[in-house]
């Protein structure tokens, strides 16, 4: 009796010999993996965007091109993982079979399993780190292009997809050799077509998410344009128990002020009438003072600002901050929250007699500097028109000659707030240079690195004395 000692070798050299049933089941498994993973990535991306929302309702916005690209990447990645699951099923067999091809089959299964599990873990870890750094660097980095791979680093996700694709076929190509290239080519074009089709599916309506969040974003609901300055600081909070209240004055013709209460903005001043008790907003009854950062449209006229100052004074608010943007700012306004010019409320004269009375007290100061500011782009300093880009240097020269000085500043009621703040910025720059000049002369180091005590001493030695009065109250004498 002859015994056939030839081992069982029913291991196909072609995908064509896989049974129709296994093909259908494998495609169902692969499609399920693909759709579930694609949906997970889509929802994760939208979660990160919503999580990026700031107290100002700024969020990480994606352009149409970015959405298309990220959808494609998510779809292509999901298809590759789904393909691995499908191939792993096609080449799986019950353990009772013992044939020569089991080693090759095991290599294929291990290759696909390694690709699916290890890459998934790596991808999730990388995504977690990205989300972590996204969170700890918020809110100053998300508006920049560095937070998006597209378009500068678009090649990186593309190379990831290509690398995974060729890796998924590596062992299969070694087994099937030339016969594998046909199926590999079919897989490549199928991946391209199907990934494009799946990328058209929006699991979450991201446009509705944008609209819902941005509906409370003042920069999207109002035409707010902040002043641009060359020198800025960070907003200070004098008393957190009293609260930090942030106002927006926007729309040149409407003169609307919006108050931040909770997650919503509500108008408190419109068409010349207040509908809010500022006494409860600005002041803590037990402490007597508060602090605010004002986001004021640069086109607002100074006659409107004077009304706000009067209300501040009535509620004992004397120190606050104006929100500004750096000149030639490269990032959206959201990147500069907290950038401000800190200032004290200027003395507001009641009438011409009040102005003359206070001016007589200042006439004894030896260095009298008069600045008349009635037009954009320049100031008249002691009878000479000086452009903004030369104003700080001109004021510095006047200050350094006699440091016991007073600046009599007269502004037009029709002057824009942006021009007013530009002057304030330049005069602050000038006095800073005066103090820095003497700090080098006396201590041999910059003024801004002094300890608080010495810093305050220099402010007292070289003070900035200035009167501010509107042209309508100005009286020459």
- 328-348 pLDDT tens trace: 777 777 677 778 888 888 887
- Is residue 360 within 8 A of residue 330, CB to CB? The reply is no
Mean pLDDT of 2-6: 43
Domain's final residue, options 214, 229, 257 = 214
- Three-state SS at 341: strand
- Three-state SS at 250: strand
Domain's final residue, options 152, 187, 214 = 214
Q: Which of 437, 459, 458, 454 is nearest to 446 (CA)?
A: 437
Same domain, 310 and 377: no
Domain's final residue, options 214, 248, 263 = 214
Span of 88-92, 236-240, 261-265, 326-330 with lowest mean pLDDT: 236-240
Number of structural domains found in the chain: 3
- pLDDT for 347: 80
- Does residue 114 fall inside a structural domain? yes
- pLDDT for 233: 63
Beta strands in 390-433 (DSSP E): 405-411
The answer, yes or no, to whether residue 145 has pLDDT greater than 60, is no
- Three-state SS at 105: helix
Same domain, 454 and 468: yes
Same domain, 208 and 252: no
Same domain, 355 and 245: no
- Residue 320 corresponds to which tokens in the numbers above? 């606050």
Mean pLDDT of 421-443: 89
Mean pLDDT of 243-264: 55
Same domain, 365 and 474: yes
User: Can the peptide bond before residue 151 be classed as cis, meaning omega within 30 degrees of 0?
Assistant: yes
- Does residue 10 fall inside a structural domain? no
- Which residues on adjacent β-strands are paired with residue 325? 228
- Is residue 171 within 8 A of residue 111, CB to CB? The reply is yes
Find the DSSP H helices in 145-258.
155-168, 170-176, 179-199, 206-214, 218-221
Name the more confident of 465 and 12: 465
Same domain, 191 and 77: yes
Same domain, 368 and 314: no
Which of 217-221, 283-287, 379-383, 468-472 is the most confident on average? 379-383
Span of 56-60, 227-231, 268-272, 282-286 with lowest mean pLDDT: 282-286
Q: Which domain holds residue 354?
A: 349-477
- pLDDT for 390: 94
């Amino acid at each position: 009796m002859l015994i056939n000692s030839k081992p069982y070798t029913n291991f196909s050299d072609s995908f064509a010999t896989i049974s129709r049933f296994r093909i259908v089941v494998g495609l169902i498994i692969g499609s399920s993996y693909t759709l579930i993973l694609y949906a997970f990535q889509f929802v994760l991306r939208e979660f990160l965007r919503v999580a990026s929302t700031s107290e100002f309702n700024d969020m990480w916005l994606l352009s149409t091109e970015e959405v298309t690209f990220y959808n494609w990447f998510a779809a292509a990645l999901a298809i590759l993982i789904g393909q691995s699951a499908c191939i792993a099923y096609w080449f799986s067999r019950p353990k009772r079979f013992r044939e020569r091809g089991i080693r090759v089959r095991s290599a294929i299964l291990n290759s696909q399993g390694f690709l699916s599990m290890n890459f998934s873990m790596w991808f999730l870890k990388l995504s977690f780190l990205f989300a972590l750094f996204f969170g700890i660097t918020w809110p100053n980095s998300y508006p920049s292009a560095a937070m998006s791979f597209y378009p500068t680093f678009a090649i990186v996700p593309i190379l990831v997809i290509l690398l995974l694709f060729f890796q998924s076929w590596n062992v299969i190509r070694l087994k099937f050799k030339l016969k594998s290239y046909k199926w590999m080519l079919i897989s490549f074009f199928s991946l391209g077509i199907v990934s494009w089709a799946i990328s058209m599916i929006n699991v979450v309506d991201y446009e509705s998410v944008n609209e819902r969040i941005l509906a409370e974003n003042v920069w999207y609901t109002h035409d707010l344009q902040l002043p641009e300055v060359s020198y800025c600081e960070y907003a200070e909070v004098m008393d957190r128990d009293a609260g930090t209240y942030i106002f927006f004055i926007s729309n040149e013709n409407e003169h609307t002020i919006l108050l931040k209460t909770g997650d919503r903005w509500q108008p408190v001043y419109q068409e010349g009438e207040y509908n809010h008790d500022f006494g409860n907003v600005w002041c803590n009854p037990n402490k007597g003072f508060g602090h605010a950062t004002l986001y004021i449209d640069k086109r607002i006229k100074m006659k409107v600002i004077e009304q706000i100052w009067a209300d501040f004074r009535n509620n004992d608010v004397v120190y606050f901050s104006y929100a500004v943007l750096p000149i030639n700012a490269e990032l959206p306004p959201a990147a500069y929250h907290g950038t401000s010019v800190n200032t004290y409320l200027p003395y507001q004269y009641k009438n011409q007699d009040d102005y003359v009375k206070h001016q007589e007290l200042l006439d004894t100061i030896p260095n009298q500097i008069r600045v008349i500011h009635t037009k954009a782009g320049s100031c008249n300093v002691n009878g000479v028109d000086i452009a903004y880009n030369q104003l700080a240097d001109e004021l510095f020269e006047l200050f350094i000659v006699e440091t016991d000085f007073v600046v009599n500043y007269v502004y037009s009621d029709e002057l824009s707030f942006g021009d007013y703040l530009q002057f304030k910025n330049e005069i602050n720059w000038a006095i800073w240079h005066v103090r820095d000049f003497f700090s080098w002369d006396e201590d041999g180091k910059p003024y801004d690195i002094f300890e608080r005590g010495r810093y305050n001493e220099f402010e007292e030695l070289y003070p900035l004395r200035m009167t501010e009065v509107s042209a309508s109250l100005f009286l020459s004498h």
